[in-house]
Every structure is written in C-alpha cells, then in structure tokens.
Amino acid sequence: MAFKDSKLITDPLADNNPITIQVLGICSALAITAELEASIVMSIAVLFVLGVGNVVISLMRNIIPSKIRIIVQLIVVASLVIIVDQVLKAFAYELSKTLSVFVGLIITNCIIMGRFEAFALANGPWRSFLDGIGNSLGYAVILIIVGFFRELLGSGTLLGFPVLGDPIEKTGVYAFGYENNGFMLLAPMALITVGIIIWVQRTKNPALIED
C-alpha cells in the first residue's frame, strides 16, 4: 500500500476523525453509546455498509446523474442495509435482533452520505474502499470510548459484566458509598463526553484548532 493510500486509513483515526473533526455521525454516537456492546455492534455494521457502499458509489461515479445523486446514494445505502438485515435474520438470527434497533440509524448516518459525497464520487474503488474502512474505524474509536465511559459510570458494568461490584448488595466500590450515575445513560451526557474528547484532542494537537 502506497504511503498516500495508507493515510486514508490512518488519518480518520485521529487528525481527520469523522466525529470529532468532520462532525459527522454525531446523532448515532449519542443514541446508542449507553452500552459498550451496542457501540461495537454499530461500529461493525457501519464498517460493512460504508466499505461496500463507497465501492459501489465509486464504481457508479461516472454514470450517476448529478441531479439525483443524493437519491442514488440513499438508495444504495438503504438497499445494503436491507440486504444485511435479511441475511443476518436468516443466518445469524441472534445478532440480527441485537442489530435491529440500529438498522434505521445506519441509513440516516451522516458519515455514510458524507463519505459518498466527499470521496467516493471523485475517487476510484480501491481508494474509496480504504476511505470507507478508515472512516468507519475512526467512528468506531470514538463510539467505543464513549460507550466504555457511559456504561462503566452509568451502569457499573462493561459488556454487561459487573466490574464495580453489586449496587444492591453494596459490594465493591458501592461499599464506599459510590452510586451509579444515571445521567451518563442519557443522551446529554454522551454529547458532553464527545465534547471532552474533542477538547482533549485539540489541546494535544493545537493545529486542529480553527481560528
């Protein structure tokens, strides 16, 4: 992989992160990060849809009429999501039930439309594929960080396993008077968590601060 191509994967992880820098996909990041598992599942689903969708749009880029390009992009993303959902229902039923709540959110995820519009319409399939993977991974990093803190501080669990003790029996840190912070499970705290990540990121790299 050429240096320029490898940047397509590494840039979105930090300095061109879709959530913290491009400010795309914020809505789904707020909606589903109350649990770490949901964050991981959503990240995998977006990885697939954006990777394949970017390639499809890139292959069609020279024949899409510019007047209806947004509709074409929406159709591609919606069809991919429906196919994924049907295949999962047939062959991985348990997983499809976990995913069901996110399917609609994938269609409306701004990252997907944003990358189709900004990258796949102007680049070849291989580079578009790398861009899709890179941006999905950048999205995943933020989702997993937010999901980790929200589940840990909000429910005292990680991936459903109690890590801080039992809140009813008052064991572990609960024995010292700690209480789960229910506010962490609500959407406003997700926004604040994303805000803190943005703050930390820009403090560490002042070049990202806009004038």
Q: Which is nearer to other proteins, 98 or 201 (CB)?
A: 98
User: Is residue 30 part of the contact set for other proteins (CB under 8 A)?
Assistant: no
Residue numbers 117-176 binding other proteins by CB under 8 A: 150-151, 154-155, 168
CA 39 vs. chain centroid, Å, equals 7
Going by C-alpha positions, the residue among 58, 33, 68, 6 that lies closest to residue 140 is 33
CB 157 within 8 A of CB 183: no
Contact segment (CB under 8 A) with other proteins among 110-118, 129-137, 182-190, 194-202 equals 182-190
Q: Which helix (H) or strand (E) holds 158?
A: strand 157-158
44 or 87: CB nearest other proteins: 87
Residue 53 in the binding site for other proteins (CB under 8 A): no
Q: Nearer Cβ to other proteins, position 131 or 151?
A: 151
Asked if 90 touches other proteins (CB under 8 A), the answer is: yes
Question: Would you give the distance in Å from CA 143 to the centre of its chain?
Answer: 5
Told to check if 13 binds other proteins by CB under 8 A, we report: no
86 is a contact residue toward other proteins (CB under 8 A): yes
Residue 179 dihedral angles phi and psi, to the nearest 5°: -125, 145
CB of 15 to other proteins, least distance (A): 30
Q: Does position 185 bind other proteins by CB under 8 A?
A: yes
- Minimum CB–partner distance for residue 100 and other proteins (Å): 7
Based on the shown chain and the rule CB under 8 A, indicate whether residue 177 belongs to the binding site for other proteins. no
Residues that bind other proteins (CB under 8 A): 32, 34-35, 38, 62-68, 71-72, 75, 79, 82-83, 86-87, 89-91, 93, 97, 100-101, 150-151, 154-155, 168, 182, 185-186
